[in-house]
Amino acid sequence: MGQHRTKLGRRGMAALAAAGALIVGGGAAAAVGSGNADPLLPVPAPVVGTTYVLPDLAPFARTAESGTSEVSDAFEPPAPVGGGEAALRLQTPGETDKAAIRTTEDAGTSLAEWTSSAYWAYQGAAGNPIQFPSMQLEIDFDPADPAVGFSTLTYEPVYNPTASSAPDQWNRYQAGAGNWCSTRAIPGVIEESERRCNATKPLAAFVTAQPDIEVTALIINQGTSNPGLDAGVDLVSTPSTTYDFELVEPEIPGTDPCEEPTVPTVPTVPTVPTVPSGGHENEGDEQGGHEQGGHEQGGHEQNGNEGHEQPDNGGHEQPDNGGEQQPDNGGHEPPQCS
Ligand SMILES: [Ca+2]
Ligand SMILES: [Ca+2]
Whole-number Å distance between alpha carbons of 222 and 16:
33
Omega cis (within 30) before 319: no
Nearest listed ligand to the Cα of residue 143:
1
Question: Measured in angstroms, how far is the CA atom of residue 191 from the centroid of ligand 1?
Answer: 18
Give me the pLDDT at residue 250, please: 84
Question: Measured in angstroms, how far is the CA atom of residue 71 from the centroid of ligand 2?
Answer: 9
Q: What is the pTM of this model?
A: 0.64
b/e per residue 270-299 (b: at least 16 CB within 10 A): eeeeeebeeebbebbbeebbeebbbbeebb
Question: Measured in angstroms, how far is the CA atom of residue 267 from the centroid of ligand 2?
Answer: 33
Q: Dihedral of the CA atoms 27, 152, 181, 40 (nearest 10)?
A: 40
Question: Measured in angstroms, how far is the CA atom of residue 1 from the centroid of ligand 1?
Answer: 28
Question: Measured in angstroms, how far is the CA atom of residue 86 from the centroid of ligand 2?
Answer: 4
Are 213 and 140 within 8 A, CB to CB?
Answer: yes
Are 93 and 228 within 8 A, CB to CB?
Answer: yes
Nearest listed ligand to the Cα of residue 51:
2
Question: Measured in angstroms, how far is the CA atom of residue 146 from the centroid of ligand 1?
Answer: 4
Give me the pLDDT at residue 251, please: 76
Question: Measured in angstroms, how far is the CA atom of residue 192 from the centroid of ligand 1?
Answer: 18
Instruction: Name the packing angle between helices 319-337 and 301-309 (round to 10°).
Output: 160
Omega cis (within 30) before 6: no
Three-class SS of residue 230? strand
Contacts of 179 (CB under 8 A, 6+ apart): 155, 159, 160, 200, 201, 202
- The 3-class SS string of 117-176 reads CEEEEEEEECCCCCCCCEEEEEEECCCCCCCCCEEEEEECHHHCCCCCCCCCCEEEECHH
Give me the pLDDT at residue 46, please: 40
Per-residue pLDDT of the chain (338 residues; tens, 9 = 90+): 333 444 443 333 434 434 433 333 333 333 343 444 444 544 444 434 899 999 999 999 999 999 999 999 999 999 999 999 999 999 999 999 999 999 999 999 999 999 999 999 999 999 999 999 999 999 999 999 999 999 999 999 999 999 999 999 999 999 999 999 999 999 999 999 999 999 999 999 999 999 999 999 999 999 999 999 999 999 999 999 999 999 999 876 665 566 555 444 555 544 444 444 433 333 333 333 333 333 333 333 333 333 344 444 433 444 443 334 444 443 344 444 54
Q: How far is CA 329 from CA 40, 135, 310, in A?
A: 50, 51, 22
Nearest listed ligand to the Cα of residue 147:
1
Question: Measured in angstroms, how far is the CA atom of residue 63 from the centroid of ligand 2?
Answer: 21
